[in-house]
Structure formats: C-alpha cells, structure tokens
C-alpha cells in the first residue's frame, strides 16, 4: 500500500518488485553464479552482456553501459518518465494508490489559481512597460526591439512598494494567495509589498506556454541590490525543472538546440533569427531539464554555451555528462570575441555566430581543452599531467570513437606536449620515475613507468591501481548507501584523495545528491542520474561489494586513501630532491617538508 495520502514512494515500489522476474518478462535470463545473465534489450546484443543481481535489485549491461534498478529498467524499456515508470511498476505489483487530481483537488485548484495570477501579473508588467520611459530607454541601449519585447512578454515592475499588490486587491484577490504565488512578501512590520520593484521583467513560461515565474533585472548600473532576482519556488515553479524560451524554441525547424545561461543571451539570439536557443535559468543543468530537452529535441544536436570561466567550465562538463547519459547528442560551444552571445551579436552578424557555432566541441574534446588550460606546456610536470589526463579520458571512449579522437588529440596537442598517437593509445601512465632517454622529434624527454603484460588483467589496470580503484569505489558506494556518513565528513577534502578521474566525477554527483537529499540509498541513484548509477553498478558486479560492508569500513577506506595520497606526495618530493637540476635552496626546503610529512605520517 502507498503512504497515508495514497502517494507512491520509490522504496515501497522497489521492495515489492523482483527485478529478475520483471526483466524476464522482456528477455530470457539464465542463472550464472550469484547473478542472472541475458541478452541486453537496449542494443543489438549477440553475446549475453546483461547482468542482473536479485539480491541487490540492480541490472547492468557491460556492453552498452546502461544500468540501474527496476524503475530505471522500465523507464528505458517502455520509454516512460520516472514518475510514469513508478506508477507502471506499482500497477504490476498490485499497489493501491491515487494520482494527481484524485489525490488532492485543493492543490490542483491552487496551482490553477497561481497560473491565473501569473498571467494577469505578466499583462500588468507588460502594460507598465508601455508607459515607462526608463525601461524603454534601457531596452534600446541593450538593442532589444519592441517586437522582441512583445514576443517574450517583457515588462516593467513599477518603482513602488505595492503597485501590483493594490492592482490585485482592487479585484478582491486574497493576501494568502498572493503570498503563495510569490508575487508579494510580508515585511517585519506585517505589511505586504511587491516582490519585484523598478525592474525589467522576464516572464518565465513552461513548455506549453503557461506563465509560471518571473525574473527581474535592475536597470541601474550603480544599484546596491542584486542584478537579478527570481521568483521563489511555488506549487507551479520548481527551480531546475524548466528552460527559458523553450515554449518558442520548440517550434524551430533547426537540427540544433543551443543552451545559454541567461535571459538576455537567449533573447538576443532569437532576435537575430537564431530561434533554437533556450536558457538554463542558472548555470547548473539538471537531469529534469535534460529530459525536457529529450522530449522535444531527442534527434537534434544539443550545444551547451555557458561562460568560459572556471565555474562555467565545470557546469558545462556536468551538464554535458547529464545530457549524454540520457541519450542526447551533445557538444559545447566556446565563443570568441565577446564574453557572451548578447555582447557578440551587438557587433557581429547571425552568420558570424553560426560560423563559430559550427566548430563546437564534443565532450571528449572539451575535456582535453580544459586539461590543456589547467596544465600549460611550460614545464615537464605539466606536460606529464596533461598526457596522463588525456590517456585517462581516451581510455573511457567507446572503441568506435578512439580512431577518430586519437588523430584529433595528436594533431591538436601532440607537437606542443611532445607525444604521438601511440602514447595516447598506450595504457601505461607517464610519471617522473623511469626515464626514456630517447628524445622524440620535439626534443622533449618522455618519462614512463612500464607495466609488464603479466601484471595486468582485462581492465588494463596494474594490480596496485586495481586495489586503489577498488577502495575508491567501495567508499563511493558507502556514501551512496548511507548519505549520513558523507554529511559527517563533508568538510574534509575527500575529493582530492581519489586517484582516478572517473571516481572524482562520480564523487561530485554522489556528494551533490547526498547534500540535496536526492540520494537516499544506493537504489535511489538511477532517479538522480544515470552516470553515477551505471559506474557504481558496474563496480558492484565487478567487485561484488556489499553496501553493508562498505558502511562498516568507511574509516578503513579513508585511511587507505589518505595514506596513498601521502605516499604519492612523498614520492613526488623525493624525486624532486633527487633531480640534479633542483636548486640547492629548493632541495633544503624539500628535505624539511619531506621530514615533516614523514613525522606526521608516523603519528
């Protein structure tokens, strides 16, 4: 049975569904050890690649990479949203529940009332814009035409404490409803005032054209208030679930969609005839926004165009990972000649912009470019770090992509960093240990540690790296299974302890989910994001990690990672001390540092 209000919970549904019986309805499964195996239904599988764990309630295909719990399987098999998949499984399990309007007619009425208020508010702001010389002059300085302002429903909130409030009170609207809609707020003295005052207003529409929220921008350069303020969350608006301009962009016949950060970038692109732009309403793309894109643009190329600063770069990578993992074709666009699209289009044509857009990068290419920016080719250490990063990224590519990207990365970075195609393909990592004294044509000495074939297994990792990866994966599973453990450690620099980039990426996703409350155990990962789920599910099968064991040994695993990090730092210092080119003063400094670390390690 669902909860007291008739609502379904993920935990209830999963507890009532046998994943082996479920998947057997779609493909035959055969018992193999502790698991079941069969042909994967999500790609043209000839050899059984699908593994199903009855005890853990998860599945994983080791060919195409998909994995998750029973809900995720139904999402993929029946092409349903998460919510609809949940209801589908509930029906299969015979769980009684109520949906939507059946459950709460009062909530439905409230949502409809708020949408009506928002629509009236948008009209009010739009009419105010017609009589505001200040707002009209501001739009002229930003190059926004009257037609564009009308197309996007731009408006102006008067420079008054309660102009909108009085407008609604004259029509008999209740204070409580205005507060719930987020249009007014209560002061410390109990007075109600407008949330938006003296601002250019941007109505935010959902995908079918309902006004669900607002954004307001100050027009004064020297204003001491925030440049932008947005609506608070309401019963009709939840941050991270909508895309600005989607109601217009979904009508475009282009084979592309470009995602920018803010309102003005989106509007400027549409004004220039680039009608396939949407804005993320913030720099962090979410999985729900990704699924919204997939609903309308599944067969189109999605291009992410966020700012080029470090925060924007990280948001871009995270967003591309999310979009790629839900099956979208993704690229990233780095604009040159201006800080954003709005500024660029003031002095350039539509064709100038589209020419740059045509040179967008894939996720692999973008990660390589970021790695080069983090490790400029000015020292051997930076060159080695860059090459190792590229090798790690290359190893994660599907075999079909490696031939193309091997050539691309070598042509773009090989001469600058001193490597050839064989270096990218090779499995060994470069470090400052064993030196190959034969210099390549660039004159750069490449230093390598060679791992003999008999020390490798099918994963391509040395025995030492296998153990390190094992400990890192166990720790990640522990955090996913028990978010409370992570929260007690969140102030510690745990991310820096992970040696493998893949594990650092998974840590980013898991830590966000633990903080936000979206992760409530290992089985909840699929509903949060497919990337972490796929990789951790693979670790579950590969290493047979039991979450209960991981919970009990988190201290032991952390200590192992701390020790490994300290050993790596000591090794780095020792090598710099042994280097004949290290200045005497630097060596004295390093010897002191080495001794201090050793002393600390003994404690």
Annotate 550-571 with DSSP letters as a single string.
HHHTHHHHHHHHHHHHHHHHHH
Q: How far does CA 172 lie from the centroid of its chain?
A: 44
| pLDDT score of 140 | 95
CATH ID of 105-230, from 3.40.50.300, 3.90.980.10, 3.40.50.10470, 1.10.8.290: 3.90.980.10
Side-chain-facing half-sphere of 228: CA atoms under 13 Å: 12
Chain length of the chain: 603
Domain ranges of the chain: 10-101, 105-230, 246-361, 377-450, 463-552, 563-602
pLDDT in tens, 502-534: 777 777 777 777 777 766 666 555 443 444 455
SS3 of residue 381 by DSSP: helix
**Which residues pair with residue 279 across a beta bridge?**
244, 260
Residues in the chain with pLDDT values less than 70: 1-7, 97-105, 283, 309-312, 425-461, 490-492, 518-553, 601-603
Q: What is the mean pLDDT of the chain?
A: 81
Burial bucket for residue 539 (CB in 10 Å: 0-12, 13-18, 19+)? buried
pLDDT of residue 201: 97
Give every CB contact of residue 181 below 8 A, 6+ residues apart in sequence.
113, 114, 117, 118, 234
Beta strands in 248-351 (DSSP E): 256-260, 277-279, 301-304, 329-332
What pLDDT is stored for residue 179 in this prediction? 94
The hierarchical CATH code for the domain 246-361 is 3.40.1360.10
Within 10 angstroms of residue 153's Cβ, the number of other Cβ atoms is 18
How high is the pLDDT of residue 450?
A: 24
Smallest CA-to-CA distance from 581 within 361, 408, 432 is with: 432
Residue 118's pLDDT is: 96
SS3 assignment, position 431: strand
Q: What are phi and psi of 231, to 5 degrees?
A: -60, 150
Please report the pLDDT score of residue 589 as a whole number.
Answer: 85
What pLDDT does 491 receive? Answer: 60
Q: 10-101 sits in which CATH class?
A: alpha beta
Assigned token pair, 146: 């009257």
User: What is the predicted pLDDT for the residue at 490?
Assistant: 65
How far is Cα 230 from Cα 213, in angstroms, rounded to an integer? 8
Q: Rounded to whole angstroms, how far apart are CA atoms 225 and 475?
A: 43
Q: Give the C-alpha separation, 301 to 254, whole Å.
A: 9
Q: For position 185, what pLDDT does the model report?
A: 92
- How many Cα atoms within 13 Å fall on the side-chain side of residue 379? 6
For residues 399-428, one letter each, b for 16 or more C-beta atoms within 10 angstroms of the residue's C-beta and e for the rest, the string is: eeeeeebbebbbeebbeebbbeeebbebee
Taking the C-alpha atoms of residue 46 and residue 156, their distance in angstroms, rounded to an integer, is 61
């Amino acid at each position: 049975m669902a909860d007291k209000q008739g609502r379904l919970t993920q935990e209830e549904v999963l507890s009532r569904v046998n994943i082996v019986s479920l998947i057997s309805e779609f493909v035959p499964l055969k018992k193999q050890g502790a698991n079941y195996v069969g042909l994967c239904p999500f790609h043209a599988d000839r050899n059984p690649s699908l593994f199903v764990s009855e005890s853990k309630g998860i599945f994983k295909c080791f060919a195409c990479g998909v994995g998750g719990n029973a809900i995720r399987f139904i999402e993929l098999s029946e092409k349903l949203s998460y919510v609809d998949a949940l209801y589908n499984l509930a029906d299969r399990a015979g769980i009684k529940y109520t949906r939507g309007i059946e459950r709460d007619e009062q909530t439905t009425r409230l949502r409809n009332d708020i949408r009506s208020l928002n629509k009236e508010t948008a009209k009010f702001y739009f009419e105010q814009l017609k009589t505001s010389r200040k707002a009209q002059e501001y739009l002229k300085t930003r190059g926004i035409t009257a037609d564009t302002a009308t197309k996007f429903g731009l408006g102006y909130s008067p420079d008054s404490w309660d102009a909108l409030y009085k407008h609604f009170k004259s029509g008999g609207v209740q204070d409580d409803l205005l507060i719930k809609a987020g249009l007014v707020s209560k002061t410390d003295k109990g007075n109600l005032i407008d949330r938006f005052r003296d601002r250019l207003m941007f109505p935010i529409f959902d995908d079918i054209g309902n006004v669900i929220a607002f954004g307001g921008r100050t027009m004064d350069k020297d204003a001491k208030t925030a440049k932008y303020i947005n609506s608070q969350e309401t019963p009709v608006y939840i941050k991270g679930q909508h895309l600005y301009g989607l109601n217009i962009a979904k009508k475009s016949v282009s084979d592309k969609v470009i995602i920018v950060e803010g309102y003005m970038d989106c509007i400027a692109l549409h004004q220039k005839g680039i009608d396939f732009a949407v804005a993320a309403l913030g720099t962090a793309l979410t999985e729900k926004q990704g699924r919204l894109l997939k609903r309308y643009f599944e067969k189109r190329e999605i291009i992410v165009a966020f700012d080029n600063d470090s925060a924007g770069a990280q948001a871009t990578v995270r967003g591309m990972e999310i979009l790629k993992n839900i099956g979208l074709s993704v690229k990233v666009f780095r604009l040159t000649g201006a800080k954003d699209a709005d500024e660029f289009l003031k002095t350039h044509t539509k064709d100038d912009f589209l020419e740059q857009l045509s040179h967008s990068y894939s996720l692999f290419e973008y990660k390589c470019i970021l790695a080069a920016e983090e490790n400029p080719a000015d020292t051997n250490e930076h060159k080695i770090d860059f090459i190792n990063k590229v090798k790690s990224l290359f190893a994660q590519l599907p075999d079909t992509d490696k031939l193309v990207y091997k050539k691309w990365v070598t042509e773009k970075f090989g001469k600058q960093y001193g490597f050839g195609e064989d270096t990218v393909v090779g499995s060994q990592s470069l470090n400052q240990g064993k030196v190959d004294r034969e210099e390549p044509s660039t004159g750069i000495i490449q230093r390598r540690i060679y791992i003999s074939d008999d020390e490798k297994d099918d994963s391509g990792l040395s025995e030492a790296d296998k153990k390190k990866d094992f400990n890192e994966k166990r720790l990640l599973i522990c955090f996913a299974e028990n978010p409370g453990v992570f929260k007690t450690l969140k102030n510690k620099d745990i991310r820096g302890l992970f040696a493998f980039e893949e594990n650092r990426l998974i840590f980013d996703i898991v830590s966000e989910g633990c903080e936000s409350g979206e992760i409530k155990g290992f089985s909840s990962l699929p509903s949060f994001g497919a990337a972490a789920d796929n990789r951790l599910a693979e670790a579950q099968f590969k290493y047979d990690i039991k979450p209960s064991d991981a919970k009990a040994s988190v201290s032991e695993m952390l200590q192992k990672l701390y020790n490994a990090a300290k050993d790596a730092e000591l090794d780095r210092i020792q090598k710099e001390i042994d280097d004949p080119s290290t200045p005497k003063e630097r060596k004295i400094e390093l010897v002191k540092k080495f001794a201090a670390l050793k002393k600390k390690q003994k404690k």
